[in-house]
Amino acid sequence: MVSESMTEKQIIVTLDVMLAKRKMRSKELSQRIGISVQNVSLLKSGKVKGIRFQTLAKICEVLDCQPGDIITFE
């Protein structure tokens, strides 16, 4: 049986926080990782079903961070 606290937890995308830390705009990130600005916006808002390892790796490389800095489980 799944506890109540388990069901409430979810993946939170903190890409906007990381972008602010690196003082980088979504447009620049989208250009450097090769995806559209719309998709970066969707990713930032968490309105996506998933993220490919390939995209995650590119973001981590550009922002010089770890996957855990972009997505958290809270």
Partner 1 sequence: MKTQKSTLGFWISPITKLLGIALLLINSFYWSIPEMAEYVASAYSGISPSHYTLTTVTRFLGWLITTLQISVLTYGLFTVANIFRDFSKGIWFASSFSNQLKRFGISLLVFSLLSPIVQVLTGLALTYTNTPKTERMIVLSFNIDGKGATIFLIGILLILMGKVITEATRLADENSQII
Residue list 4-43, contact with partner 1 (CB under 8 A): 35, 39, 42-43
Q: Looking at 11, 12, 20, 48, which residue binds partner 1 (CB under 8 A)? A: 48
**Which stretch in 1-9, 17-25, 50-58, 63-71 sits in contact with partner 1 by CB under 8 A?**
50-58
Q: How many CB atoms lie within 10 A of CB 59?
A: 24
**Both tokens assigned to 30:** 């989208």
- Nearest approach, Cβ of residue 37 and partner 1 (Å): 12
20 burial (CB, 10 Å; 0-12 / 13-18 / 19+) is exposed
Q: Looking at 23, 52, 64, 74, which residue binds partner 1 (CB under 8 A)? A: 52
Residue 49 per-residue DSSP state: S
